[in-house]
């Protein structure tokens, strides 16, 4: 059968419309669009902090024990420590999305969660401005609120620029020891390729223990030999890090022990978490180290 010119045009339009519908990505139409996750488990302090910064905290059903900021996050059910998770504990909350910072564990648990039916998003970790921006992008995309990320990223970029510009004029670069733990006389120092090493450098200091990677125990002799100008320890609930530092054997033989203001307590999550609060915390640390004097 031969179609008239008018009917041929109608048929072409119908076929074009069907083809366009087939080529649309899933979720591009109102009827096919997947609903946003409404029961989210957030694992990692900076991950949870960014969820709150995006204004999406109402969708959280649980967090891990490192998610202590903002304080409201502490009222949510806990799935345990970020590196000691149990798949059963996470899945028992019936989540429809799991956001987890890279390095969460143990690996066996992560493998089980990734193999399940619940979407699992690895949030990238890193110790730079670019890494913080990447976290925000990954989380905002997973939550379906990419538009909300722009203002947060602009603020992060501005804060890092302020800190970077201030530190650029530093006239001194002190040797800094970051102790992850100083309780009970057991000293755990930060080496290179760690969040603590990154914040020392970004604040204009020099890591006094740049000869090894990660975190390692040290003794009093190593403390004295490192000759730090400043020693940093993290604040912890119920602990007094400055008092603990003053009890360190050999402290009086270091430049840090010779001056009353050379021992510094910091908010570990704000500074080391590499989230929205990291750049302002770095600027404060730079002031404490004397690399910024304004």
Residue 10 has pLDDT above 60, yes or no: no
Q: In which band, very low, low, confident or very high, does the pLDDT at 294 lie, cut at 50, 70 and 90?
A: confident
How far apart CA 274 and CA 173 sit, in angstroms, is 22
How far apart CA 122 and CA 105 sit, in angstroms, is 12
Q: In which band, very low, low, confident or very high, does the pLDDT at 14 lie, cut at 50, 70 and 90?
A: very low
Write down the pLDDT at residue 184. 62
Q: Do 40-151 and 165-289 share a fold?
A: yes
Q: How far lies 287's CA from each of 194, 204, 212, 223, 283, in Å? A: 21, 10, 27, 24, 6
**Whether 78 contacts 97, CB under 8 Å:** no
Residue 92 has pLDDT above 80, yes or no: yes
Residue 255 has pLDDT above 90, yes or no: yes
Architecture of domain 165-289 in this structure: 3-Layer(aba) Sandwich (3.40)
**Whether 265 contacts 241, CB under 8 Å:** yes
**Whether 291 contacts 203, CB under 8 Å:** yes
How far apart CA 143 and CA 219 sit, in angstroms, is 46
Instruction: Work out the end-to-end distance of the chain between its first and last CA atoms, rounded to an integer number of angstroms.
Output: 87
Write down the pLDDT at residue 257. 95
Residue 89 has pLDDT above 90, yes or no: yes
Residue 35 has pLDDT above 60, yes or no: yes
Architecture of domain 40-151 in this structure: 3-Layer(aba) Sandwich (3.40)
Q: Which of 6-10, 76-80, 135-139, 259-263 has the lowest mean pLDDT?
A: 6-10
Residue 114 has pLDDT above 90, yes or no: yes
The residue extents of the domains of the chain are 40-151, 165-289
| Average pLDDT for 82-106 | 98
Per-residue tokens: 283: 């600027």
Residue 13 has pLDDT above 90, yes or no: no
Range 159-166 contact pairs with CB under 8 angstroms and sequence separation of 24 or more: 159/279, 159/280, 159/283, 160/129, 160/132, 160/279, 162/279, 162/283, 163/202, 163/279, 163/280, 163/282, 163/283, 163/286, 164/202, 166/283, 166/286, 166/292, 166/294
**Whether 218 contacts 139, CB under 8 Å:** no
Q: In which band, very low, low, confident or very high, does the pLDDT at 164 lie, cut at 50, 70 and 90?
A: very high
Residue 169 has pLDDT above 50, yes or no: yes
* Mean pLDDT, the chain, integer: 89
Residue 183 has pLDDT above 70, yes or no: no
How far apart CA 69 and CA 62 sit, in angstroms, is 14
**Whether 104 contacts 83, CB under 8 Å:** yes
Residue 110 has pLDDT above 80, yes or no: yes
Q: With 0-12 CB in 10 A as exposed, 13-18 as middle and 19+ as buried, what is 256?
A: buried
**Whether 98 contacts 41, CB under 8 Å:** yes
Write down the pLDDT at residue 25. 40
Comparing 186 with 19, which gets the higher pLDDT? Answer: 186
Write down the pLDDT at residue 17. 42
**CA 274, 275, 281, 286 torsion-angle sign:** positive
Write down the pLDDT at residue 275. 97
How far apart CA 169 and CA 186 sit, in angstroms, is 36
């Amino acid at each position: 059968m031969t179609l008239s010119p008018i009917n041929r045009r109608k048929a072409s339009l119908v076929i074009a419309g069907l083809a366009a519908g087939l080529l649309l990505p899933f979720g591009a139409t109102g009827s096919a669009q997947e609903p946003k996750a409404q029961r989210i488990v957030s694992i990692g302090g900076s991950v949870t902090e960014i969820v709150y910064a995006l204004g999406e905290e109402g969708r959280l059903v649980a967090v891990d024990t490192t998610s202590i900021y903002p304080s409201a996050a502490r009222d949510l059910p806990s799935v345990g420590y970020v590196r000691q998770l149990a798949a059963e504990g996470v899945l028992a909350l019936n989540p429809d999305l799991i956001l987890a910072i890279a390095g969460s564990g143990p690996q066996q648990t992560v493998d089980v969660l990734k193999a399940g039916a619940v979407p699992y998003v690895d949030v990238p970790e890193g110790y730079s401005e670019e890494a913080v921006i990447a976290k925000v992008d990954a989380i905002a995309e997973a939550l379906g609120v990419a538009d909300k990320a722009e203002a947060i990223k602009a603020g992060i970029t501005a804060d890092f620029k302020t800190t970077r510009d201030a530190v650029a004029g530093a006239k001194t670069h002190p040797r800094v020891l970051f102790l992850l733990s100083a309780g009970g006389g057991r000293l755990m120092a930060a080496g290179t390729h760690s969040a603590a090493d990154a914040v020392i450098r970004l604040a204009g200091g020099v890591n006094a223990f740049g000869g090894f990677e990660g975190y390692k125990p040290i003794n009093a002799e190593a403390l004295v030999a490192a000759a730090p100008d400043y020693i940093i320890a993290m604040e912890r609930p119920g602990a007094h890090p400055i008092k603990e530092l003053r009890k360190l054997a050999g402290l009086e033989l270091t430049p840090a022990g010779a001056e009353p203001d050379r021992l510094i307590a910091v908010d570990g999550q704000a500074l080391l978490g590499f989230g929205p609060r990291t750049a302002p915390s770095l600027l404060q640390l730079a002031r404490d180290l004397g690399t910024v004097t304004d």
